Amino acid sequence: MKKIALIPIDNRPICYTLVRDILAQDDSIELFMPEREYLGALKKNADIENIYDFIKNMPKADILVISLDTIAYGGLVSSRRCPETFGQIRERLLKFKEIIKQKSEKTYAFSSIMRISNNNINEEEKEYWSQWGKKIFEFSYYQHKSRREKSQNCVYNQIPEDILNDYLDTRKRNFDINKLYLDWLEDKTLDMLVFSKDDTGEYGLNVEEAELLEKEIKNRGLNAQIKTGADEIPLTLITRALAQDKNISVGVDYTHTESINKISRYEDISVKDCVESQLRLANCTVSTKGDLKLIVNNFENAQGDWVLGDFTNSYKKNLTLPDENFFIADISNANGADEGFVRELIKNKCPQNLYGYCAYNTSANSIGCAVFCAVTKFLAKKNNSYNDHAFKKLMFIRLLDDWVYQTKIRKSVREAEPDFFEMLKSKRREFSEYEKIIAKYLDFEYNDVDYTLPWARSFEAEIDVKSL
């Protein structure tokens, strides 16, 4: 039996229950995670002492995948808000390092390069972001652009000095913490390290930090990588562990081959580079004809975004599915599915050679999730440990979430603020109709479905399926 241990980024369903649901396809895999209540949330830091105890006392695993943001700051959101000094965080990390040194598991770790969101929404940022977020983004963008191009930065800084200094101090602290982890690679505390670029763009202080880290990694010959994305990184690292020495090859087809060099929203690399970098990190090789076929439903001109209300349902052709085992990353839009594509997909009964579908959040998120789904199923079938009911449940949740909630329900829930929960309840009949459509497509039997908003906001829903 394969034993996998994970310290997630936080307690969101996409970081916690999704991992459990994907690995449930393989009855030979045992997953260890801390109790969900110990992980960070939107307004709550992780319980670090209980996570320490979990690591000390967990059964021996084949691989330990760790979110260093959880240990250092209490979670991904906390990494941007945490008021502690470098010295305070370093002391906590040194205690954690001693615990890890007592363990014998191969350890893959990941840490975020602090994002810079281009808006005035402070839901996941410090309070001043509600007034100065866009200005800070512009400051960051043009500071880096002018240094890279050796040109004059002609943007007039309108940000109050105390706010800008606080922001830059927080960035420097997090950057110095990330540099500290490079020493952990050198002394073999960690076997592999990934730095993630979340909500990024062509220029910015975060992009500049990534360039500096990359240079340091190369100069020191360390086993570390920098990847565009965030929430999918632990999924891809688990895939990497599962696929090690398995020589899994993946062929890639795009619905818009002419657009593969275009850049998705919230990212800084092309669609093609995003796909191939996720596959490489997952220990899969890209080939013309592979063990699996990845269908990427990419965008024609520019990626839509369901959250911004700038979405596109670009797929208007008849969908021809391949004969070989295939899986789908639907990235025509950020934050939700392509309605035309999904309608085509579910016209007939679900084919036995479907190995996964995903369409949540950013392109990197969807691609990493889809790869994890497919590789887990592929290896489970190869090992005669495949659980078909678990796969159907997984796809039932993904289609209800990525298609139904994100593209049809979320807008009305968001507009009902602060009555999010009441609006979600009022959509129960609409959900029920789509449940029947999806269940028929998958030939999946279920008893009931429960919909909640775990972070008391509209962005993510938790979908709990009670199977028969």
* Rounded Cα distance, 217 and 212, in Å: 9
Strands 63-67 and 2-7, sheet pairing: parallel
Bond prior to 454 in cis (omega within 30° of 0): no
Res 422: pLDDT: 96
Res 67: pLDDT: 98
> CA-CA-CA-CA torsion for 274, 277, 279, 283, nearest 10 degrees?
-170
DSSP helix/strand/coil, 132:
helix
Structure tokens at 46: 């992780």
* Rounded Cα distance, 292 and 286, in Å: 10
Res 153: pLDDT: 64
Q: Is the Cβ–Cβ distance between 5 and 64 less than 8 Å?
A: yes
pLDDT tens, per residue, the chain with 468 residues = 699 999 999 999 999 999 999 999 999 999 999 999 999 999 999 999 999 999 999 999 999 999 999 999 999 999 999 999 999 999 999 999 999 999 999 999 999 999 998 899 999 999 999 999 999 999 998 889 888 887 766 666 789 999 999 999 999 999 999 999 999 999 999 999 999 998 777 889 999 999 999 999 999 999 999 999 999 999 999 999 999 999 999 999 999 999 999 999 999 899 999 999 999 999 999 998 889 999 999 999 999 999 999 888 778 888 999 999 999 999 999 999 999 999 999 999 999 999 999 999 999 999 999 999 999 999 999 999 999 999 999 999 999 999 999 999 999 999 998 999 999 999 999 999 999 999 999 999 999 999 999 999 999 999 999 987
* Rounded Cα distance, 455 and 461, in Å: 8
Among residues 142, 167, 168, the alpha carbon closest in space to that of 156 is found at 142
First CA to last CA distance, the chain: 27
Instruction: Give me the amino acid identity at 309.
Output: G
Strands 192-197 and 248-254, sheet pairing: unpaired
Among residues 374, 377, 393, the alpha carbon closest in space to that of 438 is found at 393
Predicted TM-score (pTM) of the model is: 0.96
- Strands (DSSP E) along 124-229, which ranges? 192-197, 224-228
* Rounded Cα distance, 111 and 226, in Å: 10
| CA of residue 212 relative to chain centroid, distance | 23
Phi, then psi, of 286 in degrees rounded to 5: -90, 125
Structure tokens at 38: 């110990």
Q: Is the Cβ–Cβ distance between 380 and 291 less than 8 Å?
A: no
Res 118: pLDDT: 87
Instruction: Give me the amino acid identity at 189.
Output: T
Res 468: pLDDT: 73
Res 388: pLDDT: 98
Q: Is the Cβ–Cβ distance between 119 and 134 less than 8 Å?
A: yes
Res 155: pLDDT: 62
Instruction: Give me the amino acid identity at 140.
Output: S
Instruction: Give me the amino acid identity at 103.
Output: K
